[in-house]
Structure 1
Amino acid sequence: MNVSQTMETEEDLLPCLLIKVYHPQQSCRPLYGLLPVGNRRRHSADDPFRLGRDAQSCTYSLVDPRVSRKQLSLHAYRTPQSPDMLFTIQNLSQRGQLRVNSSALGYLERMDLPDKALIRFGEYEMVITRESGEAKANFEVEFEVMTVPPSREMCMWEPSGTPVADTGSRVMTSYPLELRAVGPLETDETVMCYS
């Protein structure tokens, strides 16, 4: 077999992590000056991807003294059951929790990264979306800046102001018992009002 047939080619579709970032003070502070916003960057799958304040030890850096020197890392991996490149996310900050959707990760705790996840630390919110690809040795990363908090886009809001992830379920303690027994309703169903 020819060597050129077995090597990964530039034509292979690379998996991509699309990372959309938001901070409430991003319009008045240059937080993303060290991020390659709007440009896809190739990253080796065998190296951990780190995000934090320290440009020397992190792959990508935020210009913010309130961010930990090393905030989080993403690790690529594969399983025998799936051809896709998958990722775990790990909290590297000793100062605070890292929230992945509704789960909180303490220092050095890690979990599998879903295909689409809302990540929160400090006042930062990020949506990380994994796009599949065929390449095995590399993946791409692309950063975008959001103008509104992603939690507003990805969540429904309860009457109390508590956000609920868009899983289709929510705590319905403020509703009558008859409606709580039914569970989530489709938008086209008619519900009788109880007084």
Structure 2
Amino acid sequence: MNVSQTIETEENLLPCLRIKIYHPQQSTKGLYGLLPLGNRSRHSAEDLLRLGRDNQACTFALADIRVSRKQLSLQAYRAPHSADMLFTIQNLSQKARLSVNSTALDYLERTDLPDKALIRFGEYEMLIFRESGEAKGSFEVEFEVLAAPPSRETCLCSPSVTAIMDTGSSCGLMSFPVTQGPLESDETFIYHS
């Protein structure tokens, strides 16, 4: 057998989870000192990724005592007859709820991670984008810090709708109230009874 037939080929394009994170006090504290900001890290699709305060038990750690030791986990999977690598997200915190778009997760509850998701726990907000790739055995994760909270800029009610939060629409985000402002009607709207 030829050596080139026994060596695994390098995968061309890896799926990637792009995670953009925000905290209101991020400029005054070193909250992200343990995260690999701006660098893509490669992970086996078999491995469970954990985010939390404990840098021994978690793949990614936040230097914040208000974050649970293990806050959340991400796990890759494949659906039958699909080439896409998909992910689930699970709340590992017994004290704090985790919100995924408009769905609140209690301790050990999990849900599928959409292609674009707004994740909230405590005062943290993370915008996660799933980029497709050809790889079957591994994927990448890339962290970036946002200057403003993503919930003020976009609403993720459905994958095809992006609305400005300042319009007063809360988009069903649980336990994160938005002040309802005056509603204006379209002057061209004609009412038919």
TM-score range, shorter chain: 0.7 to 0.9
CA–CA separation in structure 2 for the residues paired with 1:158 and 1:146: 18
Residue 34 and residue 126 in structure 1: after superposition, are their counterparts in 2 closer, same or farther (change >3 A)?
same
Unaligned runs of 5+ in 1: 167-171, 180-184
Q: What's 2:171 paired with?
A: 164
Asked if the contact 1:8/1:135 (under 8 Å) is kept, the reply is no
Number of positions where the alignment pairs a residue of Structure 1 with one of Structure 2: 176
Q: What's 1:190 paired with?
A: 188
Asked if the contact 2:152/2:166 (under 8 Å) is kept, the reply is no
Percent pairwise identity = 69
Asked if the contact 1:86/1:113 (under 8 Å) is kept, the reply is yes
1:122 aligns with 2:129: no
Asked if the contact 1:21/1:124 (under 8 Å) is kept, the reply is yes
CA–CA separation in structure 2 for the residues paired with 1:25 and 1:16: 27
Q: Which amino acid counterpart does residue 99 of structure 1 have in structure 2? A: S
Question: TM-score scaled to structure 2, two decimals?
Answer: 0.82
Q: What's 1:88 paired with?
A: 88
Asked if the contact 1:154/1:165 (under 8 Å) is kept, the reply is no
Q: Which amino acid counterpart does residue 171 of structure 2 have in structure 1? A: V
CA–CA separation in structure 1 for the residues paired with 2:21 and 2:165: 21
Q: What's 2:38 paired with?
A: 38
CA–CA separation in structure 2 for the residues paired with 1:104 and 1:158: 22
1:152 aligns with 2:152: yes
Name whichever structure is richer in strand by fraction.
Answer: 1
CA–CA separation in structure 1 for the residues paired with 2:65 and 2:143: 20
Residue 175 and residue 38 in structure 1: after superposition, are their counterparts in 2 closer, same or farther (change >3 A)?
closer
Three-state SS of the structure 2 residue aligned to 1:83 is: coil
Deviations 1:121-154 (A, max 9, x none): 0000000100001111110000000000010121
Q: What's 1:54 paired with?
A: 54
Shift of 1:3: 6.5
